[in-house]
Amino acid sequence: MRPIVLPPNGIPRFYLGGAAIAALRGAEPAGERVPEDWVGSTTTVFGDDELGLSRLPDGRLLRDAAAADPVAFFGPTHAARLGADPGLLVKLLDAGERLPVHVHPDDVFARDHLGSPYGKTEAWIVVGTSGDDASVAAGWREDVEPATLERWVREQDHDALLHALNPISVTAGDAVLVPAGTPHAIGDGLLIVELQQPSDMSVLLEWDGFGIADEEEATLGLGWDVALASVESDARDPATLRGPVPSDGAPVARLLPEAADGFFRADRLAPAPIAALERGFAILIAIEGEGALLPESGEALAVRRGDAVLVPWAAGACHLEGDLVAIACRPPAPPDRGAR
């Protein structure tokens, strides 16, 4: 089984965006509210049976192909633990406007209230920005009492919700980890590669004026009394959410904090002198240049900026050639492996 260049998989959402993804991918915009491309996805949009699933170039759903041969896609260790579940969802996300303050449930809340084995810890790797003041916001600056949060949400006090978060300035190459339960917002004009647990659940603390139908939609149908229990109350130090700064010239550079390893992993690959991709399932997003991905055996695969490549375990170890720069997104580390 060889690496596979995946076709675009645009997902309509309530917020503006999509042009930056189209420009990266070398495609025509699918619409002004198609701000996400779900890459190598076996996950569906919340409440839908099929929307979100990726198709391979031959038309098969990746979900079905992986179920037919999970070892070839994910390797024997992963398959023994998770079967045909990659344990990962990778997205391209283009924020054409500021996203509302929202939060994603953790695993326990998702299991108890939504019947899902996964909550949604996520991470953002910034690929591009527009303007000079690009930023995200994550975690409360100070502890927030549940009664205070309930009042902000009931009154839809946008300023109070946003200004209570830690502002985090970002530029291309920066990475931010957002643990489940952490309130957050993404600023206007950011193009990011997002890694996350494979679920689609958001409690929208801000919803009025953001194209959300009603509070039923904003709370995942749970109502505020239940939904607000998914939001952490303690303050967070934003410095702990930032990824390490990659070393200049390093062919393989870690992008996320060690705390992410139990959920997903990401490296920046640059072929100087050679960028080796260890054996295992990965989603590659080419962000600069062009060149080739060379599997352990078989022919080289031409890759250029904007390509999204699924690398199955069966392809063996790979490496990049040319002036290609890519982000390698991987499932969680095996429990016995620990942090890298």
Residues 116 and 143 in one domain: yes
Residue-range definition of the domain harbouring residue 322: 252-330
Across the range 322-332, mean pLDDT stands at: 95
Residues 119 and 54 in one domain: yes
Residue 340 lies in a domain: no
Residues 79 and 153 in one domain: yes
pLDDT score of 271:
78
Residues 214 and 257 in one domain: no
What is the pTM (predicted TM-score) of this model?
0.95
Residues 142 and 66 in one domain: yes
> pLDDT of 8-49, one tens digit each?
999 999 999 999 999 999 999 899 999 999 999 999 999 999
Residues 269 and 228 in one domain: no
- Edge-first strand listing for the sheet containing 282-288: 4-5, 308-311, 282-288, 325-330, 265-269, 252-254
Residue 1 lies in a domain: no
Would you state the torsion angle of the CA atoms of residues 48, 12, 197, 212, taken in this order, to the nearest 10 degrees? -80
* Structure-block tokens of residue 89: 């969802």
CATH number at residue 234: 2.60.120.10
> pLDDT of 55-94, one tens digit each?
999 999 999 999 999 999 999 999 999 999 999 999 999 9
Residues 318 and 204 in one domain: no
Residues 264 and 160 in one domain: no
> pLDDT of 178-231, one tens digit each?
999 999 999 999 999 999 999 999 999 999 999 999 999 999 999 999 999 999
Residues 193 and 266 in one domain: no
Mean pLDDT of the chain: 95
| pLDDT class of 133 with cuts at 50, 70, 90 | confident
pLDDT score of 247:
73
Cβ 222 vs Cβ 148: under 8 Å: no
Residues 231 and 324 in one domain: no
Cβ 146 vs Cβ 228: under 8 Å: yes
Domain termination residue (choose one: 213, 241, 269) = 241
Residues 37 and 136 in one domain: yes
Looking at the 3D structure of the chain, how many domains does it have?
2
pLDDT score of 339:
44
Domain termination residue (choose one: 186, 221, 241) = 241
C-alpha closest to that of 263 among 104, 137, 86, 70: 86
Domain termination residue (choose one: 241, 276, 311) = 241
Residue 339 lies in a domain: no
